[in-house]
Structure 1
């Protein structure tokens, strides 16, 4: 637990900088006096206005350079590495979403596989101090052993999205082995918070409330065997990443590549989560809120439970996510009602 603090003299290259995690990480680095170079293709997978609003806040800082572009463009990625000579890379650009990958597989291969390959190639030709990249709890598939540990067998993904994230881990390991690139893979567990992704359940449920629509709950109405999710608040995610930035793997004689879970390690039943969201919205609005609910079967690619063991993370950086679901959701609903002017 002897980790080095953030080094503000380094150049940080953040892909997916206008995304949810990318925005918050860039903001934290800029507030710490760091130079941040961000790239994002600003695709329309979800509300583009949200991405531009995040970006607008970052661009008010003179230490932030933004490039609108796609990491699947190898020449662009290479030219940016040559121009900025970044020291630390955080690859957060990816096509997200489990269900969307069933309908639109091409974009997942383009962004998550080819794009990440281009980042690895750039790190190979323009050596860096540390490459951190987003993996996902989805790599655990339908794993029934809980909590999920980084050493668990993860060769049975149940969605293309999960397959692309597993491929990222394999590719990073290979490049670390061949070219000694210090790399850390981060398996995120259901990240949520203000300015989050509208395709996530908590955000979508809230949208449907104000559209006077029912919410769909994919657990067959089975409250005893409800879905469990390890919800992780955005500030905890950013704190974990920040602490890892200046602490690359690199033990003598080992491949300098490690995988870390970043999760709350306190899974909640989906129905408890929904009840908490109702309570927080009631607090934000000053009136009682209750969703209209429709129960449906679990969707292909969904898993029954996500539950992180965070022991490795704690050992590496002396940190464990700790924000409670009530505290995190209250911050989200307060932001949502102000941002969308809901009363």
Structure 2
């Protein structure tokens, strides 16, 4: 009996040993397979949530790496626009470790597609973002040129080439404000803010009057401000005044350059006063990402100042600009909720929930359903 027991025990032990060995071998093979397939250049395709719903914060797209380059030295180059950083990586089974403590689960890895999700405990799927990348033969420089430079190249009516004002192509701006006298603003955000505010201040539109204006102008490769044109106006009697306000900045521009080559840059600024949105709602071709970003930034600044009503007006303008302005809808709902206008906040959350936004659905259930 004892001999029989020992034989059974030995067979069971042997079975467990082979089973464990098979599992371990499977993990090793998976790791090796992934480690080989992941090598090379990957460009960002899109971001969604792990549960399949759309990304709940489109602004995240601006900060997530636009390109990943995995190398045989077990380092990955993480690139966003012009910024790049090298960091170590390792693969264990279907787990990707980037740096020292950031873990991702590889959900899919083929010869042309990479999909992964960050591993975070106690976070529901609808709050976890999923990142989709496609393989590319482009170098980081070629990708940047195509994605951020050539994509912004415009051909003017007179045949001249010009670039749309963007995060990577912009002139410098000398402010005329006394507190910054003589300073040159060299970042996209500062150039946008101070040039916009300079024109808005010079325009001096009546405070209690509603209005909406769009103006385009060019800062040439010589630093000359020209081609100032009104694209849209709610009151043509103010057009000349807006053109003059733009022209007042003509001595404040320093031309943009790309790798040392001076280039023309075209601006499209929109000035919205009051609640008059009729013209905007009827225009299906008015969307401009730079204007959208500016309105969002102005709304955020109003939130910082606790000017919630002004912020709501700016976020509303963003919402009218495109169908999937989820970031603006979330922020408007927060502002309404802070003002205790729960009905409007719930309306925004409910709309977002119908678009598959699980975060909004949870907020609606928590704050809007009476129990």
- By relative contact order (CA 8 Å, sep 6+), the higher-ranking structure is 1
Q: Which has the larger radius of gyration?
A: 2
Whether TM-score is above 0.5 comes out as: no
TM-score, normalised with respect to structure 2: 0.24
